[in-house]
Structure 1
Amino acid sequence: MSSPLSIDNTMGAALIGSVCAAVLYGVSCIQTWYYYDRYPTDAWYIKYLVASVWVFDTIHQVLISHTVYHYLVSNYTNPAMLANIIWSVLLEVLFNSLICLLVQGFLTMRVWRMSNKNKILTFIVLCLVIAEFVCSVVFVVQS
């Protein structure tokens, strides 16, 4: 018999995390609506960036919901399933890393502009952004 403490704590944390993610997704939806309402004259690439981030965030939230449903509802009486990684967990990581790549890539552009086009600083930031994305993809592939 496995320790009830570890199973209950893990699944409780997953449930709390999914509820927090749902709340933050709501904030993301409001921010997206606010952006399109207040800044209709922004450049097309920024509008597409905001739309892409929102779409990826939506997919990420669906995957979170699927994961929690799989472990807490579908396999409620089967705690051994916790040892198996469900596919939606891995896709969550991938979509989260895509969101980070888009947002941090945009911030790298801002660093470029605000640092008076400092090539060294921008290159360092860009390398870190790309390294984080590559590490996430490698993690998903290895898992």
Structure 2
Amino acid sequence: MGELDSTLGAVLIAGLLAAVLHGLTILQTFLYTQTSGSDGPLMRCLVLFLWSVDTLHTALISHTLYFYLVTNFGHIGVLAAPTWSIIVAIYLTSLTGIIVRIFLAYRLFLLCGRYRPRLRVALPAIVMIPTMITFLTGLIFASKAFIVRLFARLDTFSVYLYITFSAAALADTLIAVSLCVLLYRSRTGIEQTDSLLTTLIVMTINTGLLTSIFALLCLITYSIWPLKFIYVGMYFSLNKLYVNSLLGSLNARKILQAKQERSTHDHRRSVRSTRFEVVSEPASYLSPAESITMSGVAQKESFASTSNTLHQNHVPDQT
């Protein structure tokens, strides 16, 4: 029974978790279609493509479950060989991972701005190194697994799997940390702007580090139990975490825009209230006209500074 718990049991739990995450992907894709009016056709096609890949990935997981739990029910010997759907799922996860990381590297490029030209080139380039490594080693491992077709013989080229998981965790951590640092350094001291940046930082930590944790869990579980299916179950979730990470960042724009509009509305009300107070009780060292003029100029400059800062640090729309 213990053997089945760590093989078929792990695959079953992974399949259920993957189904839940795919449901989240569908929900986020639907929300994106409702709020993507300002995005260009390239961005929309990218979202549609990732949704299609994730749907195919879910179908492959379903085939894996049916193959082991129904078609070959009671045949323990079949657990010695990976079915073709598991191997194809590795290709899809590698493809999804590199697309999402390139997208996030481009965001790093935009956040650096033209005032930091060296960092603008160096930071995305550094992120792309482990990104390309995990993509290529993932493809190599999947191709070799197609030839070997036995779990027990995967250890002959397990170095590719170790590199894949390690590079994936490194790339995701670099992206998350870099985004957090850039957003934190963009703080201006203006309450509305800093509040939006804090929200972005929390979202980055929640999404970026989650994929890093799962990649590390894949590495650890494979190192400890190479003949169990526990690492396979962890790996099933990675593809869907990547897709939801990208969709979550895109859908968050609408929430942040609404928050910005509320802050702007409150700011305008504050400006009108301040002007009324100045007119009612002008300072002793200024005439009423001077008080109104200086208050209006100060509030106008503050509002313009807030709007410009939010425009520079807002999550950039993709075209």
The TM-score normalised by the length of structure 2 is 0.43
Measure the CA separation in 2 of the matches of 1:45 and 1:123.
23
Q: Which of the numbers 25, 28, 35 marks the counterpart of 2:32?
A: 35
Give the CA deviation at 1:41: 2.3
One-letter amino acid matched to 2:140? V
8 A Cα contact 1:49 1:102, kept in partner = no
Equivalence for 2:6: 9
The aligned counterpart of 1:72 is: 69
> In structure 1, how many angstroms separate the alpha carbons of the residues matched to 2:31 and 2:85?
30
Runs of 4+ in 1 over 3 A off after TM superposition: none
**Match for residue 56 of structure 2?**
59
CA distance, structure 1, for counterparts of residue 38 and residue 49 of structure 2: 18
Is the counterpart of residue 119 in structure 1 residue 116 in structure 2? Answer: no
Q: Which runs of 5+ in 2 are unaligned?
A: 146-319
Q: In structure 2, the residue corresponding to 1:97 is in which secondary structure?
A: helix
Instruction: Give the residue type in structure 1 aligned to 2:121.
Output: K
Q: Offset at 1:35?
A: 0.4
Once the two structures are aligned, what percentage of the paired residues are identical? 33
Secondary structure of 1:61's aligned partner:
helix
Q: Which residue of 2 aligns with 1:135?
A: 137
When the two chains are superposed, the root-mean-square deviation of aligned CA atoms in Å is 1.1
| Per-residue deviation, 1:126 | 1.4
Secondary structure class of the residue paired with 1:77: coil
Alpha-carbon displacement from aligned partner over 1:49-94 (angstroms, at most 9, x marks no partner): 1111100000000000001110111111101000011100000111
Report how far residue 9 of structure 1 moved. Answer: 2.5
State how far apart, in whole Å, the 2-side matches of 1:115 and 1:6 are.
51
- What number of residue pairs does the alignment pair up? 140
* Greater relative contact order (Cα < 8 A, sep 6+): 2
Could you tell me how far 1:10 is from its partner in structure 2? 1.3
In 2, distance between residues paired with 1:37 and 1:59? Answer: 23
Alpha-carbon contact 1:90-1:140 (below 8 Å) kept = yes
Q: Give the match's secondary structure for 2:7.
A: helix
Larger Rg: 2
Q: What TM-score results when the alignment is normalised by the length of structure 1?
A: 0.93
